[in-house]
Amino acid sequence: LLNERLEQAMAASKRDGRHAALMFMDMDKFKQLNDSHGHGVGDELLVEVARRLTACVREVDTVARFGGDEFVVMLSELDPDREKSAALAGTVAEKIQSALAQPYRLALREPGHGPATLEYSCTSSIGVVLFSGHGASADEILKWADIAMYSAKADGRNRIRFHGRHA
């Protein structure tokens, strides 16, 4: 579905001249939560992350879990002006980062113990690429967003980085 929506956004962008943006993100240090408290708690966090991401974007936008703790957000129908589109995408990325950084209340299910709740905080690293529907394939756009996300991680995590190339 993500690939289909990306192709549609590329075609619409090419048709109407408006930019779109693809964000590739993952939760920093997610593996530590899974290793410490189990996959059930990790899965609970991922469900809440998806809910928060969906609340941060418009209905025309797309939120997808890419795998593990990686998510993709696609912002469609931005502005014809690249700089304005970059500013809009940056604002949404900051909103997402702020929402994901709020504490999570996760249910612990430890054998032999009663119900317990873990208050957990984590950050996210987000890579963003703008595209306008021509000059790049869907795979290239995903790859560029992924590269930008790894740049955010390399710069210390809890960062937003734009890919230098815009498709």
- Residues marked active site are found at 69
Backbone angles phi, psi at 63, to 5 degrees: -120, 130
3-state secondary structure of 111: coil
Tokens of 48: 């809440």
Residue 78, classified by CB atoms within 10 Å of its CB into exposed (0-12), middle (13-18) or buried (19+), is buried
Of 82, 85, 78, 90, the closest CA to residue 152 belongs to 90
Written as one letter, the residue type at 17 is: G
3-state secondary structure of 39: helix
Tokens of 111: 């054998």
Backbone angles phi, psi at 75, to 5 degrees: -100, 115
Greatest CA span in the chain, whole angstroms? 60
